[in-house]
Structure 1
Amino acid sequence: MPTPHERFTALYNTYQARVYGYAASRAGHQLAEEVVSETFLVAWRRLDGIPDHAQLPWLLRVARNILRDNFRRAARRDALEAELRTWVEEAVADVGEHATERVAVLRALAGLSEADKELLTLTAWHGLSTVEAAKVLGCTKAVFFVRLHRARRRLRSAIEATGTGTFQKPVTAPGRKPR
């Protein structure tokens, strides 16, 4: 009976090119390598669950799920970026006394990494407690506080870099009251 390493190596050597071809036809060559890597990582983890009579369909289903998840992540990211752009555009048109600060905050937020945006928006815009936000991110409350502190510091630096002054108010969604 072959060892798990031998079974995996045979599976990889037999189907890697076909999984790559499937991924490349669905998402292009640039993303195909990543999809193949993730597909065979799942295969390694679930090696005993791969049916002997349907190995290629099983691998292609895994690759399809990975592609679907990648497309969903990209769609969520694009939707958030579009929403942030809309908020910035609305803020530019706002004639309120704090319009300049609002624009600076929204522009600074739009320039942060996805991870920093998520940290800041989970509590400030989505109204989650720190415990709930930590659960969403899969970390402890203490780790969440450290990450949130660093994200706020980067936001302050980005706001100050715009030359509009210092960070004085909590970031809230347009139309929401600060906590």
Structure 2
Amino acid sequence: MYDGCRQRVWAYVVSRAGRQVADEVVNETFTVAWRRLDDVPEPPLPWLLVVARNILRDSIRAEARRASFAAEVMSWAQPAEADIAEEVSERSALLKALATLPEDDRELLILAAWQGLTPAQAAVVVGCSPLTLRVRLHRARRRLELAASACPPAEEAAPAHRVSTRARIAVGKEAR
């Protein structure tokens, strides 16, 4: 379980709170899993993400979490060197757009696209029904598309439909 899920739990924690606390939260998450081994369902990833989420909520003030995450995303979106392909600038614009979204929207998009969770699994993590999650995810994707069209790549102002296509791909719509 540890070998199969550690990286994804770590990535989830980094996306929520930054690298500064990720190792500590992941260690504590797997300590809880070890203590409650009989309670861990199959597949364990959604359960582990719930544990990690609860640890974050209990151990870090919400404002510190938001500030750390925004700083991390902005560090990923630093301007690319002139010889880097156009995709890098589009990725940068998309990450900047993601940083402008509310924390709940970012979490849904990250669970769906970067963590690869199904709506049912993501619903377990955030504590809502799968139907409610699908609606919230749809709205978060729309807000990301709007934010991405407002943040064109640095080198050139890309047409809104082009950034929206990248945004849809980035948040997992191609899996539909």
Normalised by the length of structure 1, the TM-score is 0.52
Deviations 1:67-88 (A, max 9, x none): x937443343233222201111
Aligned to 2:80: 93
Alignment gaps of 5+ in structure 2: 1-56, 153-157
Deviations 1:122-141 (A, max 9, x none): 11112222111111111111
Q: 1:122 aligns to what SS in structure 2?
A: helix
Give runs of aligned pairs for residues 4-43 of structure 1, distance below 5 A.
none
1:157 deviation in Å?
A: 0.7
1:117 deviation in Å?
A: 0.6
Structure 2 residue aligned with 1:168, among 165, 169, 173?
165
Alignment gaps of 5+ in structure 1: 1-67, 173-177
What is the alpha-carbon root mean square deviation over aligned residues?
2.3
Q: 2:86 aligns to what SS in structure 1?
A: coil
Larger RCO: 1 or 2 (CA < 8 Å, sep 6+)? 2
Aligned partner letter, 2:170: V
- Output the CA distance in 2 between the equivalents of 1:79 and 1:126: 20
- Output the CA distance in 2 between the equivalents of 1:81 and 1:144: 23
Give runs of aligned pairs for residues 76-115 of structure 1, distance below 5 A.
76-89=65-78, 92-93=79-80, 95-115=84-104
- Output the CA distance in 2 between the equivalents of 1:161 and 1:97: 17
Give runs of aligned pairs for residues 79-158 of structure 1, distance below 5 A.
79-89=68-78, 92-93=79-80, 95-158=84-147
- Output the CA distance in 1 between the equivalents of 2:127 and 2:147: 27
- Output the CA distance in 2 between the equivalents of 1:158 and 1:103: 13
Q: 2:122 aligns to what SS in structure 1?
A: helix
| Greater Rg over alpha carbons, structure | 1
Identity within the alignment, % = 44
Count of aligned positions: 105
1:103 deviation in Å?
A: 1.6
- Output the CA distance in 2 between the equivalents of 1:70 and 1:157: 33
Normalised by the length of structure 2, the TM-score is 0.53
